[in-house]
Each structure stands twice: as C-alpha cells, then as structure tokens.
Copies of this chain bind each other. A is one copy, B any other.
Amino acid sequence: MHKGFTLWFTGLSGSGKTTISTLIHERLRQAGAKVEMLDGDIVRENLSQGLGFSKQDRDTNIRRIGFVCELLSRHGVIAIVAAISPYREAREDVRRRVENFVEVYVECPLEVTASRDVKGLYKKALAGEIPHFTGVTDPYEPPLAPEVIIHSDQENPRQSADRVWATLKELGLVSF
C-alpha cells in the first residue's frame, strides 16, 4: 500500500507547511498508512529542548529529525516533517541519509507570510524583537530541485495537498 519515505515540508514561518502537511497526514491515516507527523514544535519539545535558532543549533535540530526519519522510513513508516529548515546543506544531509526523500518547498512571498502573521511573530521580528528570524534577520535558502513546489499564495491548502498526493503516487510511494 505504501513504502517508507520521508515527506519534508520546508518554507518560511506562516507559509502553510503545517496546514498542508496536516491534510496529507490525515489522508494517509484514513488510508490506514503507518505515518508519523514530526511537526517542528513537537520535535523541539521532544528532541531539541535547549537548542536555539543559530545556524549551528538549527542544523543540529534538523540532523536529529533526520536521524528519526531515517529510522522510521527504513522500516516502512512514513515520516512527515514540517520545519522551516532554512539551510540547504542540512536538508541535503537528510536527503542523503533517507532512502526515499520527498522535499516539498512551500513557497510564499515574505510580504504574504508577514501580512498573514498568524502567530504574531513577524511583527515582533520586524521590530527587532526576535533575533535569527528566518526571512527577516536570517536567510532562507530555497531548495534547488524539490520534488514539489507549492505556491501557497496562489492556491488553497486542499489544492496543494492534492498536488503533493499526486507526486507521491507518481513516485510510486503510495498506491491507495
């Protein structure tokens, strides 16, 4: 019914990673798949307490998530990750470790994420109150060859999830 793989959502805070990945997670669960959602916040709580948001700490956080994805994926479990993961090299490290790695770049212009500002973080970041804020005071390095690009400012989450799902089928990773 499905292979083990890692579905990795990357993009700015507020771009829609969690919303879209949650839809995919729910769809996979309803289909009876073995699937785990490793949301950025869950991971910070369980694996990376004490780490901050410097490049080094972010890279360490991503490496830990990658380790868990590697373990799950190679035993046939689907790992879904939604994490800003702004550094290309760290994501590529995970890609090298995981057998089936599907990178979803949730692209959304900074003006849009900043104007949505769901968590009220951009306002603070633009006021200089949050150091290391991706897109404002820290870089975001977009993937060069992601398996899927989502333009979350141009389609709704359901449409985005459909496109991710279609890619998983094309890649032969799910066959529901």
Interfacial residues, chain A to chain B (CB-CB below 8 A): 34, 36, 46-47, 49-50, 60, 63-64, 67-68, 71-72, 75-77
**Which 10 pairs across A and B sit closest by C-beta, in order of nearness?**
A46-B67, A34-B75, A75-B77, A47-B64, A36-B71, A68-B68, A47-B47, A71-B72, A47-B67, A68-B71
Contacts of A72 in B (CB 8 A): 71-72, 75
Contacts of A47 in B (CB 8 A): 47, 64, 67
* Complex CA distance for A72 and B50, rounded to whole angstroms: 24
Assembly of this chain: how many copies?
2
Query: In this complex, what residue of B is CB-closest to A4?
Result: B75
* Complex CA distance for A54 and B46, rounded to whole angstroms: 19
Contacts of A64 in B (CB 8 A): 46-47
* Min distance, Cβ A34 to any Cβ of chain B, angstroms: 5
* Complex CA distance for A77 and B68, rounded to whole angstroms: 13
* Complex CA distance for A3 and B71, rounded to whole angstroms: 17
